[in-house]
């Protein structure tokens, strides 16, 4: 004869009338052996059910715990409330063999995620049980306050890939350290996953090196419905995938390039129309691995991840950089990427345009000013579109050179 022991810890209040806030779903028929099933049968005498609900019935723990779980759904609110109080207070030693059992119904493990969320030793076993349903994992991600428990969630990469709501749960949890959230996000980004509603994904992508960006984007697949039948046929004839064929774009004339570089250029019926139909991950891939038309569209994006992918596209050459820099609404990361590319900043025109860009670091502006020609210094000294200290410095350099 066994009776479940109760924890000495204070118990959470049970909702009046047994209206539980736990996720409850009836157990599969036959899970509890027939000789014990009467303990939760609604047709059994209430005293018998109440005894089981209070964990006082002479039933082995491996059967009593599921019975208590089932009694939380009893039609008698007093029995349901007593069962929930018992369920929330079950002793860890009794739960250990249950939470490690791969055959335990997932609904029990789901409910235990809610009741054990602050008990590391036992909740760790629940989280490591492959039978624990993802909703329970998500609930722990959102509500756990123990860093060790959060670490178990973050380290389960299989789950992170399978259900992205786990990362959303971590994002909602105010106790989760930014470093832990970044670990989860960084893993998904490297696997080619990008969640539009979690801003940390943009930061993570921008932190990657160029090789890492390419590796992640190779795992992204662009939806088939974005391709035309003509493209499929042409790709087949060329012996390449439809995606590769469509992303390569077409040879752009100088006039088309200039149009694409306009800040407010409208989408046309070609590749740029497709661009506006893509989701964020598809745009990232097209931006960095597609033709020049996609890269030039991307660098204008207010989304720093997409813009960064675009400026890292090898199709962008030094010839486009001076015109790209004329766009004053470029995101900081694009300007920074251009400033950090030595092959581009060797160009006099690029340096001049960067000096006039409001997002160029002032340290670089001051480094490049002495390299400017007399006429350009004169123009800078009178410019109203650059910081006043830059204009004043240009004026001082003119005077030093004997200019006017």
Per-residue pLDDT of the chain (404 residues; tens, 9 = 90+): 344 433 333 333 333 334 578 999 999 989 999 999 999 999 999 999 999 999 999 999 889 999 999 999 999 999 999 999 999 999 887 898 889 888 999 999 999 999 999 999 999 999 999 999 999 999 999 999 999 999 999 999 999 999 999 999 999 999 999 999 999 999 999 999 999 899 999 999 999 999 999 999 999 999 999 998 998 999 999 999 999 998 887 777 777 777 777 755 544 434 567 888 899 899 999 999 999 989 999 999 999 999 999 999 999 999 999 999 999 999 999 999 999 999 999 999 999 999 999 999 999 999 999 999 999 999 999 999 899 999 999 999 998 887 55
Query: Among residues 277, 275, 279, 281, which one has the least CA distance to residue 191?
Result: 281
How many helices and strands (H and E) does the chain possess? Answer: 28, 0
Residue of 144, 184, 145 whose CA lies nearest to 163: 184
As a residue count, the chain comes to: 404
How far apart CA 306 and CA 44 sit, in angstroms, is 63
Q: Is the pTM for the entire model greater than 0.85?
A: no
Buried b (16+ CB within 10 A) or exposed e, 246-284: bbbbeebeeebeeebbeeeeeeeeebbebbeebebbbbb
Encoded tokens for 220: 């992204």
Terminal-residue alpha carbon distance, the chain: 103
What is the predicted pLDDT for the residue at 14?
Answer: 36
The CA–CA distances, whole Å, from 394 to 366, 379, 383, 388 equal 9, 9, 10, 10
- Residue 65 contacts residue 89 (beta carbons within 8 Å): no
Residues 244 and 309 sit within 8 Å (Cβ to Cβ): no
Buried b (16+ CB within 10 A) or exposed e, 195-208: beebebbbbbbbeb
Please tell me the predicted confidence (pLDDT) of residue 403.
57
Contact 27, 70 (CB under 8 A): yes
Round to whole Å and give the CA distance between 389 and 401: 18
pLDDT of residue 53: 97
For residue 193, the model assigns a pLDDT of 93
Contact present, 383 and 355 (Cβ < 8 Å): no
């Amino acid at each position: 004869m066994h009776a479940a022991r109760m924890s000495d810890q204070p118990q959470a209040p049970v909702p009046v009338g047994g209206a539980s806030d736990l996720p409850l779903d009836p157990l599969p028929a036959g899970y509890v052996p027939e000789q014990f099933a009467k303990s939760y049968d609604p047709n059994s005498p209430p005293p018998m059910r109440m005894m089981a609900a209070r964990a006082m019935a002479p039933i082995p723990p491996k059967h009593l715990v599921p019975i208590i779980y089932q009694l939380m759904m009893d039609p008698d609110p007093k029995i349901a409330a007593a069962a929930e109080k018992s369920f929330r207070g079950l002793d860890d030693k009794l739960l250990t063999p249950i939470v490690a059992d791969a055959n335990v119904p997932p609904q029990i493990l789901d409910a235990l995620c809610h009741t054990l969320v602050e008990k590391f030793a036992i909740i760790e076993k629940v989280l490591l049980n492959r039978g624990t349903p993802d909703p329970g994992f998500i609930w722990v991600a959102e509500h756990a306050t123990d860093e060790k428990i959060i670490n178990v969630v973050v380290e389960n990469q299989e789950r992170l890939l399978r259900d992205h709501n786990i990362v959303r749960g971590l994002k909602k949890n105010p106790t989760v350290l930014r470093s832990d959230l970044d670990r989860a996000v960084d893993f998904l980004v490297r696997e080619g996953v990008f969640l539009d509603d979690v801003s940390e994904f943009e930061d993570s992508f921008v932190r990657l090196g160029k090789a890492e960006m390419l590796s992640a984007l190779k795992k992204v697949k662009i939806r088939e419905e974005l391709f035309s039948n003509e493209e499929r046929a042409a790709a087949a004839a060329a012996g390449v995938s439809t995606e590769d064929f469509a992303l390569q774009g077409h040879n752009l004339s100088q006039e088309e390039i200039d149009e694409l570089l306009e800040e407010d250029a409208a989408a046309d019926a070609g590749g740029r129309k497709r661009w506006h139909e893509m989701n964020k991950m598809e745009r990232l891939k097209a931006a960095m691995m597609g033709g020049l038309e996609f890269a030039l569209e991307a660098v204008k994006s207010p989304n720093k991840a997409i813009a960064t992918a675009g400026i890292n596209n090898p199709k962008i050459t030094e010839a486009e950089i001076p015109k790209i820099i004329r766009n004053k609404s470029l995101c900081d990361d694009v300007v920074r990427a251009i400033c950090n590319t030595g092959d581009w900043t060797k160009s006099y025109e690029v340096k001049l345009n960067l000096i006039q860009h409001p997002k160029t670091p002032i340290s670089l502006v001051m480094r490049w000013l002495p390299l400017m020609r007399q006429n350009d210094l004169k123009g800078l000294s009178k410019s109203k579109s650059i910081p006043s200290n830059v204009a004043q410095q240009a004026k001082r350099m003119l005077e030093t050179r004997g200019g006017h």
